[in-house]
Structure 1
Amino acid sequence: MTRHQSTGCPVGSRVAAAIGLRPVLAVIVAATLTFAQAPTEKARSVLMSSDPPDAAFAAASGPTANADVQPLQKPTDDLVNEPALPSGPHEVQNRVRKLDLPISIEKILGIRKQGGGPKAAFLTSGRKSGQGRAISCNVVLNNTAVSASPLSLVDAAPNLVPFFNNGPVFGLPGTIEGDFWHRTQLIGDPNCKRSDLARRGLFIDLYATSAYQDVTSGGLKTGNSFVQNTQLSINLDTARAGLWPGGLFHFTVQSRYGSSPDNTFTAGSFAPEYTGLELPGPLFWHDTLPSEYSLIQAVSKKFNFILGKINGLFIADQTLFGDRFRYYFANSNLNKNPIYNNFFKTTTLAAVGVWTTTPWLTIAGGVHDPHTQPNTLAANAFHNGEVNLYVEAIFTYTAGSLPGQIVPAFNWANEPKIDLESPFGHLSPAQIPQAVDVLLGNDSTAGLPTNFKKSSFFALSNVSQYLFVKEEDPSVIVEKLRTGQPLRGIGVFGRLGHGGPEALNTVNRHASVALIARGLLGSRQYDSFGMGFYYNGISRNLRNSIGQLTDGTTVKNENGIEIFYDLAITPAINVNAGYQHIWNPLVASVAVKQNHADLFLARLNLVW
C-alpha cells in the first residue's frame, strides 16, 4: 500500500486523541503504588445473563458438546413469524426468544433454546449511594410469553457487539461493577445512566490504547515512537429501542495520533509490527474518522445480513481467542493473515449474508469493495466493477471438553494488481528508485509504465484449540463462549494461507502459530501472556524483479517472533510489554540492506 500523509486535523479530532493521552502518567504512577492489588472476577456483576447456564447456543465461539460435533441446541421457530409488542419510548423491552439466528462472520451470532419464558439479563447489584443506601441499576423485567416478544440481537446473541467492537462492552455479560479496582469500565455506571441506556438498546464504549515502540537494532531505522489509538463504538439494538425486531446498528469512530508513518513503520516488515498502525488506515496518522457504520439484520431463524462499511481487521479471519490486539499480540501477522492485506484495505463496503446450517457450522459470504477508505463514504466504490467475493465457514467443536474452532476462507478478486513477473515497461535510471518503492508498497505508480493483471485469489484457514481450561464450573465455559468473554486457560492457534497467482501476490504463502495463556493465577485472573511465530513466503516473481532493478539484491522469506505479557492493573486498565525479532524484514532488507529488526513495544489500554 502506498503511504501518503492524510490531511486535516479538526478540533474534535484533537479532543478525541486527548481522551487517551492525559490519564497515562497518572495511571502508571497508580500502577506502581498499587501493583499488589489483584483484580478479581468475584466482584459484583451488573449485567449478566440469568438464563440457565446449560442452555448453550450454537455459535462460532460456542463449541459442541463432544468431539463428534453434535449440535448444542435445536432450532426454534422462524423469526419472521414473531409478532412484536408495541412499546413506548420509556418502556423496557422484554427478553426475547432465543432463535437459531445465524452466527455472523466469525463468532458473532448464536442462539440458545430456553425452557421457559424470557428472563431478565440484569442481575441485582446493589451499590451504596452517598447517603449509604443501596441503589440498584437493574430493572426487573416481566415474563411475557416468548411468542409475544420482539427479537433483540443483543439478548439473543450477546457476543455480537463485543465481536464488532473487538473489545468488552458495558451492559453485557462480563460487565463487573464495583470500586475502581474491580470494575471493568473506568467510569462505571454514574447514577445508573449507562445501564439505563443499555436497557433501551444503546451501548456506548470507548477504548484508548497508548503504544510506545523502540526499534533497538536493524529495521529501516532505529529509534522510538509513540502512537495513540482511540476508538468510540456506538451500538443500537432496534428491538430494545422499540423500533423493529432483529436489527442492530453499529457505528465506530477510530483515531490515531502521534508519530508519523515514517517514524512508526520502522521495522521494515511486510505487515506492520503493531496492528494499531492500521487504524483507522495505515496512512491516516493524524485523523479522527467514522470508519464503520453498518446494519446487522436477522430475517429468519437461519439467515441474517450485514450491510454497510465494516472493519475486516476485526471481522475476517478471526480466531476463537487471542484476536484483540490491545490485550494480546501486537504484530499484525499474528492478528490477521497478511495475504488478506493484498486484497483488502482496513475497511470495506460490503453486503454479507450469513447462513447457519447447523449449530456447529455457519457459512458467511458476500461482495466487498476493494477501494474503501475510512475518510470517504463511497468514493470509487466498486470502480469499473471491481470486487472481492469472500466466503468463510466456521466449524466449532470440542476435543474432549476443550473448545476448538476451524475457519477456512476463500476470496476471488478482479481488481488489477501489478504483474510482479514483468512489472514495468522501459524505465529510465531516474525512475528505478520509485519502481522499487512501488514493488515494496511504499509509493504510487504515477508516471511509471506499469503492467497490471486481473483475477487473483486467496485460500486461508485458521485453527484454534484450547489445551487447558481453568474455569472451575463447566457451565461457565459455555456461558463465557456464548457471550464473547475470554476463558481462563491455555490455548494454541495457527494460520495458513496461499495467494495466487504468485505473480500478483507479494506474499503468496503464510504460516503462523501462537500460544496464549490467560488467568492462570487466581490472583491475576485478567493477566495474559503469549508467544508466537510467523513465516511469510515472498513471491519468486517479486524477488527476481527486485534483483533486476537493484543489481542483484537478494530477497529472502520473512520470519518473526513475538512474546508479550499483559498485566491487568484493574480489569479496565492493562499494561502490555512485548518483544519482537524479525528475520529478513522485506522492506528493510531491500531499502537499507538490513537482515533483521529488534523492537520493544509497551501498550497502555484503558476501557472507559
Structure 2
Amino acid sequence: MTSKLLAGALPVFALGSLMAATAAKAEDKPDIGVPDESIAADLPFDSVRASLAASGVKYGVNYNGEYYDVTSGGLSRGSTYNGLIETYVDLDLEKIMGWKGATIHANAFYVHGDGPTAKTGSIFAVSNLEGFETVRLDELWLEQSLLDDKVKVKVGSIAADTMFFISDTAAVFLNGTFGWPGILASNTIQGGPGYPLTSMGAVVTFTPNDKLTLMGAVFNGSPADPFAEDPQKDNPHGTDFRFGDGELMILEGAYKYNIGLEGTVKFGGWKQFNAPEGVYSDFRSGNGVNNDYGIYGIIDQQIWKGDGDKTITAFGRISGSPTDRSPMDFYFDTGVLFAGFVPGRAKDTFGAAYGYGQISSDLVDTDPSELKTFESVLELNYVAQIANGITLAPDFQYFWNPGAVAEVDHAAVWGSRLKISY
C-alpha cells in the first residue's frame, strides 16, 4: 500500500525535475530541500532533491514505530506494536508557475499495527499515532499569502490539531491528549478534525507583527458520517470530502512576549453550529440540542535558562464546555520540560505532563453506578537524539479511571517510540 503512495507522488516529483533547469533565481544559501532534522543531512548530497527544491517542490518521508506494554489495570494486559509511515509534498506555486504567494501541501500516511488504547480503555489515547490500519490521505490544501505574508488564507482538507489549541512544549509528549485535547475529541462530532481525521474547511491567519497572531476557521462539522459507529472506518482513506454536517468554528489569538524569559499566551473558543439532529442532547431532559461550544486558554513559559542550551519550560492549558450537553465539561493539562541537561547531548529532553478531564456531572447523574467523575493521565518521557533525524523516546504513562468507567482499574503503560525523518 505504501508503494501506491510513492507511485502517486512520482508525477509531482517528475514535474519538479523538468522545471529545475529553469529555476528562477539563485540564492546565497540555496534551499536543498532537506529539513532541519533529517537523516539526509548526513548523507551524500542529493542533487535530485536539491533540484526539486529549487523548482518549488519539497518532499519527505518519516517513519514512527512504537512498542507499548500495559502492565496493570485497564481492560487487558499485554504488549502492542504500531507504526506510522508518512510522506508529504509541498509545492511553491510561485516558483513552479509564477503564482505569487501560493502553496499547496499534501500528506498521506500508512497506519499499521495495534495501538495500546484498546487495552487501557482510556479516553485519552496512549499514543498520538495509533489508528485504524489503512493508507489515508491526511491534509490537502491550498494556501494564499497576502499583504506581505501578514494574511494567509488556507482552504481544503485541513487538520485543526496542527493549528489550534497547540502548546509547543506539550508537543513532545506522546499521549494524544497533549495534542488534540481530550475535551475537544470528546465534545466535537466524531472527534472533530484532529488526527487521524481531517475536515473540509477554511482558515484565515492574520499576523500584523512578530508578537501577535489571530486565527479564525470554519470546518465542516464532522470528518465522517456523524452517526457512524467508527468514524475512521467510515472514512477509511480520508477521501470522503464531506459537506453539510453543520459548521465548526474555531477562533484563537496568540501573543508572544519576553520578560527576560520567553513566553506565549493563547486564548480561543469553538462552537459547533447546526449539528445533525440526534448528535447532541440535554443530559437532564433528554431533548435534542443542535450545538455545543467551549473556551480555552494556553500558556507556554520558559521558566529558566542556563548556559548553552539548558532550558526549563512549562506549559498549561485549560478549557470548559457546558455541562448539560458536553460529555467532558472541564479539562486542564500541565507539564514541565528540561532540555540540554545531559552532558554532550544538548538536544535531548526529558519531562513530565499531567492531563485531567472532568466528566459532566449531568452525564454522570444518568448512570452514577457505572460512571466516574474524571479520567486523568501522568506521562514521563525522555527524547534522545540518536543521530540527525533519528530519535528514541522511552515513555511511561499512568491512568486514573480509564474511560471514567467504574469497573476499570487504574492502568500503567510502558513503551518507547523510534522516529526516523528523511
TM-score (norm 1): 0.60
Contact 2:20–2:54 (CA<8 Å) still a contact in 1? no
Structure 1 stretches of 4+ moved >4 Å: 13-16
Decide which of 253, 257, 277 is 1:393's aligned counterpart.
Answer: 253
Decide which of 486, 493, 503 is 2:324's aligned counterpart.
Answer: 503
Q: Give me the identity figure in percent.
A: 19
Aligned to 2:179: 335
Question: Helix, strand or coil for the counterpart of 1:185?
Answer: helix
Decide which of 465, 469, 472 is 2:301's aligned counterpart.
Answer: 465
Question: Helix, strand or coil for the counterpart of 1:93?
Answer: coil
Contact 1:93–1:242 (CA<8 Å) still a contact in 2? no
Structure with max Cα Rg: 1
The amino acid of 2:147's aligned partner reads S
Alignment of 1:133-152 (within 5 A): none
Greater percentage in strand: 2
Q: Does 1:250 align with 2:105?
A: yes
Alignment of 1:30-429 (within 5 A): 90-94=21-25, 120-122=28-30, 170-171=33-34, 174=36, 184-185=39-40, 188=43, 190-259=45-114, 264-277=117-130, 282=131, 285-301=132-148, 302-323=150-171, 328-341=172-185, 342-343=187-188, 344-346=192-194, 347-373=198-224, 375-383=237-245, 386-400=246-260, 402-414=261-273, 415-416=275-276, 417-419=279-281, 421-422=283-284
Structure 1 CA distance, aligned partners of 2:49 and 2:129? 28
Contact 2:255–2:264 (CA<8 Å) still a contact in 1? yes
For each residue in 1:475-494, what CA deviation from the matched residue of structure 2 results, as whole angstroms up to 9, or x when unmatched? xxxxxxxxxxxx76221111
Higher relative contact order (CA 8 A, sep 6+): 1
Question: Helix, strand or coil for the counterpart of 1:193?
Answer: helix
Structure 2 CA distance, aligned partners of 1:348 and 1:601? 31
Unaligned stretches of 5+ in structure 2? 8-18, 225-234
CA 1:296 to 1:14, structure 2 compared with 1: closer, same or farther past 3 Å? closer
The amino acid of 2:315's aligned partner reads F
| Greater mean alpha carbon deviation, residues 463-472 or residues 226-235 | 463-472
Structure 2 CA distance, aligned partners of 1:303 and 1:361? 12
Structure 2 CA distance, aligned partners of 1:196 and 1:15? 19
Decide which of 561, 568, 574 is 2:378's aligned counterpart.
Answer: 561
Contact 2:361–2:373 (CA<8 Å) still a contact in 1? no
Structure 2 CA distance, aligned partners of 1:528 and 1:335? 18
TM-score (norm 2): 0.84
For each residue in 1:269-297, what CA deviation from the matched residue of structure 2 results, as whole angstroms up to 9, or x when unmatched? 212111112xxxx4xx2201111100111
Aligned to 1:577: 394
Report how many aligned residue pairs link the two structures: 389
The amino acid of 2:395's aligned partner reads G
CA 1:293 to 1:488, structure 2 compared with 1: closer, same or farther past 3 Å? farther
Structure 2 CA distance, aligned partners of 1:350 and 1:562? 33
RMSD of aligned residue pairs (Cα, Å): 2.6
CA 1:465 to 1:390, structure 2 compared with 1: closer, same or farther past 3 Å? same
Question: Helix, strand or coil for the counterpart of 1:276?
Answer: coil
CA 1:94 to 1:468, structure 2 compared with 1: closer, same or farther past 3 Å? farther
